[in-house]
Amino acid sequence: MDNHKIKAFTLLEVAITMLISAVLLGITYTSYSIVVKSYRSFTAKNDNIAVLIGLDHVLRRDFAKATVVIKDTDGIELQSDQQSIKYTFNPDFIIRSTTRQDTFKVQTQDILTSFENTPLNNVQDTPEQNRLDELSFTLLFQNEKIPYHYSKSYSSENLIQRQTDAIH
């Protein structure tokens, strides 16, 4: 009989190696799950903040370009020489309507409009009576209230067109 020894691992060594591998795989999977969940949360928060920033950007730009801002039953209308832009304020979203329509999914409350520090609570008969120079509202974002405020500075020429007898 030939007694040759074959080099091999024992069953105990193989079992310990498999146990260590299983523990390492479990730790790796748990770490990966935590990172993915954190990334998704971060991405969702950034997407929501991007909506807030986008809304602020277009409202500021539209206020700056408008020749007149008018309150209507649903919100406001910003009129300029090139186009008319309408903002409709609902409790759960804001719609910006022009040649295309944008919807900002934000929760709004406390919408206030005024002209020369006089509140415009109700829509009047003529567009000139509905002219406004300030818009304020509050957005709810992750249980926090964020105030937004926009103002329109009218030129003296624009205000004279509003009251033609103001020259005399």
Is 102 inside any structural domain?
Answer: yes
- What's the pTM value of the predicted model, to 2 decimals? 0.73
Question: Cα(2)–Cα(149) distance, rounded to whole angstroms?
Answer: 95
Question: Cα(137)–Cα(148) distance, rounded to whole angstroms?
Answer: 5
Question: What is the identity of the amino acid at 102?
Answer: D
pLDDT in 10s for each residue of the chain, 168 residues = 567 788 888 999 999 999 999 999 999 999 999 999 999 999 999 998 999 999 999 999 999 999 899 999 889 999 988 899 999 999 999 999 998 899 999 999 999 999 988 898 888 888 788 899 899 999 998 889 999 999 998 877 666 655 545 444
**Sheet strands (E) in 11-83:** 68-71, 75-79
- Bridge partners of residue 161, in order along the sequence: none
Is 22 inside any structural domain?
Answer: yes
Is 6 inside any structural domain?
Answer: no
Is 110 inside any structural domain?
Answer: yes
**100 by DSSP, 3-state: which?**
coil
Nearest in space to 113 (alpha carbons), one of 133, 88, 138 = 133
Q: Are 66 and 79 in contact (CB under 8 A)?
A: yes
Is 5 inside any structural domain?
Answer: no
Q: What is the pLDDT of residues 29-74, one digit of tens each?
A: 999 999 999 999 999 999 989 999 999 999 999 999 998 999 998 8
**21 by DSSP, 3-state: which?**
helix
Is 139 inside any structural domain?
Answer: yes
Q: How many domains does the chain have?
A: 1
Domain of residue 149, residue span: 11-166
